Each structure stands twice: as structure tokens, then as C-alpha cells.
Amino acid sequence: MTFKLDAKIDTTALLLRMQVQQEQWPIVVAHALNVTTEQAKATITETMRGVFDRPTPFTQNALKIAQARPDKSQPYAEIRIRDDGVGLGKHYLNPQVYGGARAQKRGEYALGGGGVFYVPGKDVQRDAYGNIPRGLMAKILSQTRRATDRYANESAVSKTRREKREIKKRGFASNFFLVKPGQGGATAHLSPGVWERVKFSSGSALRPVLVQSRGAPGYKPRLLVFDITGKVMERRYEANLRLAIDRYLKGL
């Protein structure tokens, strides 16, 4: 996902009036574009803090810049989204910009295969940014035997030992298990998703942790980057070009 900024504003008259040699125009214009693009990137990052609920540092640092070069191979600058290395398919910010369904997460794929999505259950533990903590997801994948590293999957023996330790230390043991659509047996009455069974010395209780969603969760556009970059370009580019011309005239 990229947002391109180019010099569509006609500044030829300004360049001529400021007595910039024509062969130096690409250098001056590229410098002004790059400064403007840095300002647009900073504005988008600042906007994230107001649009999203406690955006993570990873999200706020998701943008990078491909600078304009003073030649015809790239007479424009771009703001790009870094590869998140987490989602499958499109970057997770795409639906926040364009709207539509989000991409599947690796944990979702591990639990249910392609095209399966989950939403957190009520009162489930969240981290400081409102997400399922990584440690909790690791426990879920381990106890449901869906961890990509087979050595991280919990065996029956390990489960028994862990339950004894937890009950002795805390008075209860927490176990996660996966219910698939159409699954029969003792869990047939439960909705598809990940459930937690809290086991006490005198009994047990159940609660949903991840509820399988009917299709991919959808979003309306929230981070209006095209509006932001357009406004920054309109307000700042000519001023930045004047500063770039001034640098050129001073021999900087």
C-alpha cells in the first residue's frame, strides 16, 4: 500500500522568476517533495493517535518513505506501509484506509485454517492497546495443539502436571480448547471458537475466549490518508519549494 506525492502544482513560473537554471529544477523539486512527504508522514502518524484506540508503537511506526530522486526514474515521493510480517495477505491497515474486510491473522489460520476469523469474547484479557496479549495467544495455540512449532504444543502429560501446579498455587487451573463448527460430543452445544475451562478442586466453569466470526470482520475507512496527504501537499509544497530554491541560490 503506497501513497504517492508528485509535483502536479505548476511551479514553472516560480522557478523561472527565482532564476533557477532549468537543469537544476529536478534537484530543487525533489528536495521540496521529500520535505513535504516527511511532513505528510508525520501528520498521518499523529492522526493515528486520534483515530485508533491506543495504537501500538508498531502501528505508529508502520510508515516509511521512498524519496523522490532528481531524475526521471522517480520524480515523485511515496509513503509506504512496512511489511508487518504478521498478517496473511494484505496489510492489516488496508481496511482502515480503504474499508472492507481485514486480512486473516496467523493465529486465526493456525486455529481454523484459511478464511476463518475470530473476535474476542466478552471480558477477555486485553493488553494496553486493546489486543489479545501475545502470551495468552501462545497459551491458546499450545493448549489447543495448534502452535506452528510442534515442540510448543502441550502434551497430555504436560497438561496434567500443569493443572496440578496451578491448582496448588492458585486454587484453579485454566485450560483452552477449540470447538469447530458441527463438532459433536460433549461440546456440541458450544458455539465455534476457543473456550476456556477453569477447573477448580470442586468443579469447573466455561467461558468463550475467541468466538468464530461469520466471515471477515468489516471496517469503514477511518484513516483518510489520501485526504491528509492532499491537504499537506496543498498547504506546504509551495512553501517548501521556496525554501529549496533559497537553498539552491545560496549554494547549499
Residues 120 and 180 grouped into a single domain: yes
Quote the number of domains for the chain.
2
Residues 162 and 227 grouped into a single domain: no
Q: For the chain, what percent of residues have pLDDT higher than 70?
A: 87
User: Model confidence at 143, in pLDDT bands (50, 70, 90)?
Assistant: very high
85 vs 10, higher pLDDT? 10
User: Model confidence at 252, in pLDDT bands (50, 70, 90)?
Assistant: low
pLDDT of residue 90: 60
Give the domain range for residue 55: 2-94+217-249
Spatial separation of the C-alpha atoms in residues 90 and 72, rounded to whole Å: 30
Q: Is 63 helix (H, G, I), strand (E, B) or coil?
A: strand
pLDDT of residue 88: 46
As a whole number, the mean pLDDT across the chain is: 84
The 10s digit of each residue's pLDDT in 189-227 is: 999 999 999 988 778 889 999 999 988 888 888 889 889
Q: Is 144 helix (H, G, I), strand (E, B) or coil?
A: coil
Residues 79 and 129 grouped into a single domain: no
Residue type (1 letter), 158: S
Q: Is the pLDDT of residue 13 over 70?
A: no
Residues 187 and 232 grouped into a single domain: no
User: Model confidence at 228, in pLDDT bands (50, 70, 90)?
Assistant: very high
- DSSP string of 186-216? GGTTSPSEEEEEEEETTEEEEEEEEEEPSSP
Residues 133 and 205 grouped into a single domain: yes
Q: Which residues contact 194 (CB under 8 A, 6 or more apart)?
A: 111, 118, 140, 144, 176, 177, 178, 179, 208, 209, 210
89 vs 115, higher pLDDT? 115
pLDDT of residue 94: 79
Residues 118 and 189 grouped into a single domain: yes
Spatial separation of the C-alpha atoms in residues 84 and 35, rounded to whole Å: 25
The 10s digit of each residue's pLDDT in 26-81 is: 888 889 999 999 999 999 999 998 988 888 888 888 888 999 988 877 778 988 88
pLDDT of residue 209: 94
Q: Is residue 99 part of a domain?
A: no
pLDDT of residue 2: 65
Residues 119 and 186 grouped into a single domain: yes
Rounded to 5 degrees, φ, ψ at 17 are: -65, -35
Residues 123 and 208 grouped into a single domain: yes
pTM over 0.75: no
The 10s digit of each residue's pLDDT in 76-105 is: 898 888 765 544 446 678 788 888 888 888
